[in-house]
Amino acid sequence: MGEKIVEWALFVSALSSIFIVFFILAFLLKEGFPALTLGWREFFFGMTWHPSHDQFGIFPIVVSTFVVGIGALVLAAAVGIPAAIYLAEFSPDWLRNLVKPSVEMLVGFPSVVLGLFGLTVLVVFVRDAFGGWGECVLAGWVILAIMTLPHVVSISEDSIRAVPNGYKEASLALGATQLQTVRKVILPNARSGILASLVLGMGNAVGETMAVLMVVGNPNIPWIPHSALEPVRVLTSTIVIEISYAVWGSMHQHALFALGVVLFAVVAVLNAVTTAVIRRGKGGWGRD
Amino acid sequence: MSVCVRVREEVVKLGLCAAALVSVAVLLVLVGYIFFNGAGAINPAFLLESPYRFEHGGIFPQVVGTFFLVAVCLLFAVPLGLATAIYLAEYAADNLVTRSVRFFVECLAGIPSVVIGLFGLVFLVYFLGFGVSLLSGGLALGFMILPWTVRASEEAIKTVPYSYREASLALGVSKWQTIRGVVLRNAAPGIITGVLLGMGKAVGETAVVLLTAGSGLESFLPRSLSDPVGSLPVYIFMLATQGHTSAASSRAFGASLVLIAMFLLSSLFALLLRNRFVRRKRRKIW
């Protein structure tokens, strides 16, 4: 009898996550939907976001978000994948035991502190070295790359280590050098894990808020940047900055929630792709 | 292998090594920079007084407020997450309901924090009428770390060998008593590790707290769950973006130093606990 009650209580608790996600979706859609009454074409493809004129075109914000996210990812991949290869294949154990936990610690590093660092060091450096405002796309790339790096290193390293030793031995036995083995045998077999780490990193980059907000400048009117030295506005920074003064119940507030829905959708798609990539990678072997 | 090829191999390896070192250097530079700029601001008055505008007073309410927020968050997320994990690991049959629970836990983990903040604002602050308060902020943080407590607890529970359960059941102990007395006891270090990591995440979270808990500059402690509460991350954010004086900036670094100390301590503690747990388990087997 008591046992049954416990089981039911646990079951009900387990359902809580489902309820929370449903509530999040329901409330976001309910608050965001009125923004579409202005016309979905104007909303998704409108080029001007001008709340005081009731103009809510999110296109420049979405494009800027991807510009910042993709640039950051390229940077993170350029450092993270070689780092993962080194840690998995060539590093002495003591170095790996030092580097991997430190990098993984960066995953939860308070983003506002990173933003402060960006604002006082990176932005000043960019302004002195390249001119312009300093608060710009480039600063966003670097800061976001720092935040994405741990995901890329950690997951890529795991997937590189997961390549069976037999593959490597076979390649070396054929006379291939270590680097040839890495390029032709290890990387193709670890491909899905590496790809997954990149897509996951992208999801994190797009959803990251405070650090980006503090370094990208956020001009009053969002635009599509023409160079890496221009300030931009991304989805997350627009939401956080404007929600503080949007009148509750106004079209402005609804538009900001609609931005939240768009952000949610983008990140959900990226996460779904990650899951699919990982699953596909597990199924097939012997490709390439 | 020709000398030329060998040299090229070594050069590329050196490049790979450099990439790995850059990844660590980032963390070291970051922590070092915050330490050198923040250490000067730390003194007893800074830690024990209330802030006044951007340049005066201390950060006492912010530090305590952060602890309060994390406490509310953990009080919500840990029991719920643990219960979910126990259900998934010990009771659940592999059916549609269980698979959807897992799917939605993953979903929740993937939701960007600013979206959780928006949800907290419309649902907790307005719809349920909790207002901008300690309760709203703590619960919203709880939504955020719930999936992490579920994952960590489930993994910890799964590492408990099946023979332990069989031994307990063979003694005539009921299933729930087995879980409570044997499984949870052995999984505890793993669960605590997960909770500490979730705590580190909650301590540093800004967007959620900014939208639901308060403006960060509060010079008082909350007297009840429905009072707004200041927190370190929001305070740092305000100082960094709106306090344009060097005094404000050095205080922002001081507060950052305190924040990352809290973050690093909980991470370090989690790491040590995990290592000790692993070692103890190994010794037990032999």
Q: Are residues B65 and B37 in the same domain?
A: no
Cα–Cα dist A66/A32, whole Å: 21
Q: Is the pLDDT of residue A284 over 60?
A: no
List chain A domain ranges. Answer: 2-283
Q: Are residues B146 and B239 in the same domain?
A: yes
Q: Are residues B98 and B82 in the same domain?
A: yes
Cα–Cα dist A103/A87, whole Å: 11
CA distance B175 to chain A (A): 8
Chain B, 174-203: which have a CB under 8 Å from a chain A CB?
Answer: 174-176, 197, 200-201, 203
Q: How far is CA A24 from each of CA A122, A154, A205, A261, B248, rounded to the nearest angstrom? A: 36, 30, 21, 10, 37
Cα–Cα dist B30/A111, whole Å: 12
- Among A151, A152, A181, A153, residue whose Cα is nearest residue A87: A153
pLDDT category at B58 given cuts 50, 70, 90 is: confident
Q: Are residues B153 and B171 in the same domain?
A: yes
Q: Is the pLDDT of residue B125 over 90?
A: yes
Q: Is B106 on the interface with A (CB under 8 A)?
A: yes
CATH assignment at residue B213: 1.10.3720.10
pLDDT category at B278 given cuts 50, 70, 90 is: low
pLDDT category at A285 given cuts 50, 70, 90 is: very low
A103 vs B9: CB contact, 8 Å cut-off?
Answer: no
Q: Is the pLDDT of residue A236 over 90?
A: yes
- The fraction of chain A above a pLDDT of 70, given in percent, is 97
Task: Estimate the crossing angle of helix B184-204 against helix B232-242, to 10 degrees.
Answer: 20
Cα–Cα dist A100/A151, whole Å: 11
- Among B197, B221, B169, residue whose Cα is nearest residue B109: B197
Across chain B, what does the average pLDDT equal? 87
Stretch (H or E) spanning B38: helix B3-38
Q: Are residues B22 and B59 in the same domain?
A: no
Q: Is the pLDDT of residue B148 over 50?
A: yes
Could you give the ipTM of this predicted complex? 0.89
Cα–Cα dist A216/B63, whole Å: 28
Cα–Cα dist B229/B69, whole Å: 8
Q: How confident is the model over A144-186, as pLDDT tens digits?
A: 999 999 989 999 999 999 888 889 889 999 988 888 899 999 9
User: Rounded to the nearest 5°, which phi and psi values hold at B51?
Assistant: -75, 150
- Among A254, A260, A255, residue whose Cα is nearest residue A206: A260
- Among chain A residues, the shortest Cα distance to B215 is held by A244
Between A113, A214, A275, which is nearest B241 by CB?
A214
Q: Are residues B153 and B203 in the same domain?
A: yes
DSSP at A18: H
Q: How confident is the model over A26-47, as pLDDT tens digits?
A: 999 999 998 888 788 888 888 8
Q: Are residues B143 and B256 in the same domain?
A: yes
Measured between beta carbons, the chain A residues lying within 8 angstroms of B15 are: 82
The separation between the first and the last C-alpha atoms of chain B, rounded to the nearest angstrom, is: 46
Say if CB B196 and CB A105 are below 8 A apart.
no
* Sign of the four-CA dihedral A167, A171, A177, A180: negative
* Sign of the four-CA dihedral B42, B43, B48, B50: negative
Measured between beta carbons, the chain A residues lying within 8 angstroms of B147 are: 17
Residue that the structure tokens 């790491």 belong to: B271
pLDDT category at B282 given cuts 50, 70, 90 is: very low
Question: What average pLDDT score do residues A104-122 get?
Answer: 89
Q: Are residues B54 and B22 in the same domain?
A: no
Q: Are residues B57 and B24 in the same domain?
A: no
Contacts of B36 (CB under 8 A, 6+ apart): none
B107 vs A178: CB contact, 8 Å cut-off?
Answer: no
- Among chain B residues, the shortest Cα distance to A108 is held by B201
Is B139 exposed, middle or buried, given 0-12, 13-18 or 19+ CB atoms closer than 10 A? buried
Q: Are residues B19 and B135 in the same domain?
A: no
- Residue B218's domain comprises 44-285
Chain B, 209-248: which have a CB under 8 Å from a chain A CB?
Answer: 210-211, 233-234, 236-237, 240-241
Measured between beta carbons, the chain B residues lying within 8 angstroms of A113 are: 30, 34, 204, 236, 256, 259-260
Is B96 exposed, middle or buried, given 0-12, 13-18 or 19+ CB atoms closer than 10 A? exposed
The superfamily in CATH containing domain A2-283 is MetI-like (1.10.3720.10)
Q: Are residues B21 and B76 in the same domain?
A: no
Say if CB B47 and CB B59 are below 8 A apart.
yes
Question: What average pLDDT score do residues A240-265 get?
Answer: 91
CA A265 to chain centre: 13
CA B22 to chain centre: 25
Domain count along chain B: 2
Q: Is B2 on the interface with A (CB under 8 A)?
A: no
Question: What average pLDDT score do residues B178-201 get?
Answer: 89
Q: How confident is the model over B191-247, as pLDDT tens digits?
A: 988 888 888 889 989 999 999 998 877 888 888 888 889 899 999 999 888 887 888
Between A18, A103, A263, which is nearest B115 by CB?
A263
Contacts of A224 (CB under 8 A, 6+ apart): A59, A60, A63, A64, A67
pLDDT of amino acid B146: 94
Cα–Cα dist B79/B85, whole Å: 10
Cα–Cα dist B43/B48, whole Å: 9
Q: Is the pLDDT of residue B52 over 70?
A: yes
Q: Which of A231-235, A256-260, B34-38, B89-93 has the lowest mean pLDDT?
A: B89-93
Helix (H, G, I), strand (E, B) or coil at A209: coil
pLDDT of amino acid B279: 57
DSSP at B123: I
Q: Are residues B12 and B144 in the same domain?
A: no
Is A21 exposed, middle or buried, given 0-12, 13-18 or 19+ CB atoms closer than 10 A? buried
CA atoms within 13 A on the CB side of A164: 5
The separation between the first and the last C-alpha atoms of chain A, rounded to the nearest angstrom, is: 57
CA distance B252 to chain A (A): 8
